[in-house]
Amino acid sequence: MPGIDPNFIIATMLERSNGIDTISKAWERRTHFADPDYLREQDSASSRLLALPAADEPEIIWDSVHPEPGTPDRVVPMKNKDRHRKTIASNRVQKVEPNTNTRVRLESGLEASAMMIFLADRNVVAIRPQFGPVWFKRDDVWHKHYFDLCVDYRTGRRGLYAVRNENHAPEVESDLELICNYDLHNHAHFAELWTEKEISKPAVYRASEIVRARRMNNEGNTQLVMKALIDAGGRARVYDLISNLKGVMVSCGWTALWSLIGRGLVAHHHARADQVNLEFHSWVRLVPEGRP
């Protein structure tokens, strides 16, 4: 090795093998949390705080940053069949309702997808799972029904939603008709049955992107995308729109675009926009004021 005496290297390696290191820099304290002087200062500050009169003690408000468990009317049990025990299949889907900062447990992935659609709706103010019981009479016998989701809207209306697979939808449709005739007026304004037709993959994808963009929104990027779309005449291809923004990465432009879609300012320009995913090659347009 040029510039270094080989004998020095050999001597250093022998010293290291014996636990002696003359090259490495000595360790320096870079933190003060374990410094004795710092600990003495903290103890002194604690003593002064404890010595304050009760009236002068600062008020401490404990507020957890983690969502608290929700309060459903019916607790969803874990899957308890023999083939489910001691496996991850016994778990239920959990989601966070941001309006009330509660963690709710849902029975199926289809219910979780339906809740995602409601989370993306800017007119929804609260979502509650497992609402009930709602009573109805069939063949002179009273029965109770628990709705999968209870949704409160900004207009003050409340809707109850039964989420079922299309194969099991007919058995619930007759119950919903009886519920509307008996006990529904005591609980909500309307009740609906949702299947894969309403909870389609494009609808769930759209909702998840809107919720993600709402959480990661950057108002500066959003204004740049809006201005670029206006300059383009109110209609543009997605990639052409977000790839030409100065100082903004494509991924950030994509998030800003979904933020505008979630606010109802921009729309996917397609004849069947609710049945297809928004892609880079898709077209978007400005939404005229007062129109969807």
CA atoms within 13 A on the CB side of 155: 6
Taking only the tens place, the pLDDT of each residue in 145-176 is: 999 999 999 999 999 999 999 988 988 998 99
Q: What is the predicted pLDDT for the residue at 139?
A: 87
Predicted confidence at residue 232, as pLDDT, reads 94
Name which of 146, 145, 147, 152 is nearest 97 in CA terms.
152
Q: Buried b / exposed e across 54-75, counting CB within 10 Å, b at 16+?
A: eeeeeeeeeeeeebeebebeee
Round to whole Å and give the CA distance between 65 and 58. Answer: 21
Sign of CA dihedral 76, 80, 85, 87: negative
CB atoms within 10 A of CB 183: 19
pLDDT score for 93: 81
pLDDT of amino acid 221: 93
In the structure, what pLDDT confidence band is assigned to residue 138 with cuts at 50, 70 and 90? Answer: confident
The dihedral over CA atoms of 178, 180, 181, 184, expressed in degrees to the nearest 10, equals: 120
Q: Of residues 168 and 38, which shows the higher confidence score?
A: 168
Model pLDDT, residue 151: 94
| Mean local confidence (pLDDT), 81-95 | 67
Residues 37-59 have a mean pLDDT of 49
Q: Output the pLDDT for position 57.
A: 47
Q: Which of 254, 211, 285, 209 is nearest to 245 (CA)?
A: 254
With 50 as the cut, is the pLDDT of residue 186 above it?
Answer: yes
Domains of the chain: 88-194 (3.40.1350.10), 201-286 (no CATH)
Percentages (nearest 5) of helix, strand, coil residues in the chain: 40, 20, 40
Q: For residue range 220-265, list pLDDT tens digits in order.
A: 999 999 999 999 999 999 999 999 888 899 999 999 999 999 999 9
**Residue 277 pLDDT > 50, yes or no?**
yes
Q: Three-state SS for 147?
A: strand
- Give the residue-averaged pLDDT of 42-53: 48
Tell me the pairing of strands 190-194 and 158-163: parallel
